[in-house]
């Protein structure tokens, strides 16, 4: 699929990985990109072919009326984190925290449920999981469970929505605004989190966004996961 001239809807497209994807697709000549989040005005240097929208992916009524108003479009991306993430060992975990980590899955399934009927027949969907889905390191049980569910969802629904395609991009440790750490503490965190990887550094938002672009452009892939993780799975 050629991104040039296409209408693209990207949830979570105003920060980090999503913002990088928005900017690459803009440069590739998309006709219109609608970048959506709860506080989209945080995004600066918004290109001309990008429109910002304020919607919470957990608000089903808002999503229904948004998609109805948009009509047909070509690409649906969701990389919104959705809410908070529980960290730590499962047996010590507050189960409410574990359950609320699934907000990311509900955000993803909401937009697929209400958006797919408006997606062009040759259109495609890209969702973002995360490397703990298939290699869970200590403390990552919540995001591992959510990521696994996201990947299973895409594999499972691919036959139902064909010829429309759906794929997942799975990032490793990526330096984005998702981490609130600053200065030395931030540097130490990324160093420690990636030191055992085959490529021992944090990835960039642009590196993951290029995986999203590949999933959009390559018309011979569906129901699959593209790992952009610095070798997390094999280290
Ligand atoms: N960074 C990493 O190391 C890493 C690793 C593995 C997987 N991932 C996954 O990659 C994806 C992107 O993460 P990122 O690192 O780029 O994070 P980020 O910079 O924090 O961006 C997250 C985006 O999601 C939006 N968002 C969050 N909750 C939302 C909601 N309920 N409704 C609408 N928009 C919402 C945020 O905007 P608002 O706050 O304005 O709503 C923001 O635009 C996520 O699915 C994350 O789990 C990231």
Using one digit for the tens of pLDDT, what is the confidence trace for 64-105?
999 999 999 999 999 999 999 999 999 999 999 999 999 999
- Helical packing angle, 205-217 and 16-27, nearest 10°: 50
> Which atom in ligand 1 lies closest to the alpha carbon of residue 202?
3
Pairing assessment for the beta strands 225-228 and 119-128 based on DSSP bridges: unpaired
- Please choose from 37, 106, 143 the residue to mutate so as to test ligand 1's pocket, defined by most ligand atoms within 8 A of CB: 37
From atom 7 of ligand 1, which residue's Cα is the shortest distance away?
A: 130
pLDDT band per the 50, 70, 90 thresholds, residue 182: very high
Averaged pLDDT score across all residues of the chain: 98
Edge to edge, the sheet with strand 32-37 lists: 50-54, 32-37, 7-11, 73-78, 119-128, 165-171, 225-228
Q: Coil, strand, or helix at residue 104?
A: helix
pLDDT at residue 65, rounded to an integer: 98
State which of 79, 126, 173, 207 you would mutate to test the pocket of ligand 1, scoring each by most atoms of that ligand within 8 A of its C-beta.
Answer: 79
pLDDT at 10: 99
- Mean of the pLDDT values across residues 132-160? 98
pLDDT (mean) for 7-29: 98
Residue 39 CA, closest ligand 1 atom number: 40
Q: 181 near 213, Cβ under 8 Å?
A: no
Q: What is the mean pLDDT of residues 151-170?
A: 98
pLDDT value of residue 86:
96
Task: List, in order of start, the domains of the chain with CATH numbers.
Answer: 7-225 (3.40.50.720)
- Using a cut of 0.85, tell me whether the model's pTM lies above it: yes
Q: State whether residue 89 is helix, strand or coil.
A: coil
26, 50 contact by CB (below 8 A): yes
Confidence tier at 219 by pLDDT (50, 70, 90): very high
pLDDT at 129: 98
The binding-site residues of ligand 1, defined as CB within 6 angstroms of any ligand atom, are 11-12, 14-18, 37-39, 42, 56-58, 79-83, 104, 107, 128, 130, 171, 173-174, 176-178
- Quote the pLDDT of residue 143: 97
For the CA of 14, the closest atom of ligand 1 is 43
Residue 57 is predicted with a pLDDT of: 98
8 Å CB contact between 65 and 115 = no
pLDDT of residue 53: 98
pLDDT attached to residue 163: 98
């Amino acid at each position: 699929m050629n991104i040039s001239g296409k209408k693209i809807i990207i949830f979570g497209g105003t920060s980090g990985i999503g913002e990088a994807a928005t900017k690459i697709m803009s440069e590739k000549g998309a006709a219109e990109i609608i970048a959506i989040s709860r506080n989209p005005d945080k995004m600066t240097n918004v290109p001309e072919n990008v429109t910002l929208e304020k919607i919470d992916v957990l608000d089903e009524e808002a999503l229904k009326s948004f998609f109805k108003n948009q009509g047909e479009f070509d690409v649906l991306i969701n990389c919104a984190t959705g809410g908070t993430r529980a960290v730590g060992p499962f047996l010590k975990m507050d189960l409410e925290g574990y359950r609320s980590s699934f907000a990311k899955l509900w955000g993803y399934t909401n937009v697929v449920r209400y958006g797919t009927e408006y997606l062009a027949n040759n259109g495609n969907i890209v969702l973002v999981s995360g490397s703990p889905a298939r290699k869970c390191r200590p403390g990552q049980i919540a995001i591992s469970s959510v990521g696994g569910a996201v990947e299973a969802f895409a594999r499972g629904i691919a036959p139902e929505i064909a010829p429309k395609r759906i794929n997942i991009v799975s990032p490793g440790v990526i330096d984005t605004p998702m981490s609130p750490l600053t200065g030395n503490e931030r540097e130490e965190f990324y160093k420690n989190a990636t030191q055992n990887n085959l490529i021992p550094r944090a990835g960039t938002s642009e590196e993951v966004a290029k995986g999203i672009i590949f999933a959009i452009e390559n018309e011979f892939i569906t129901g699959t996961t593209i790992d952009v993780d610095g070798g997390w799975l094999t280290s």
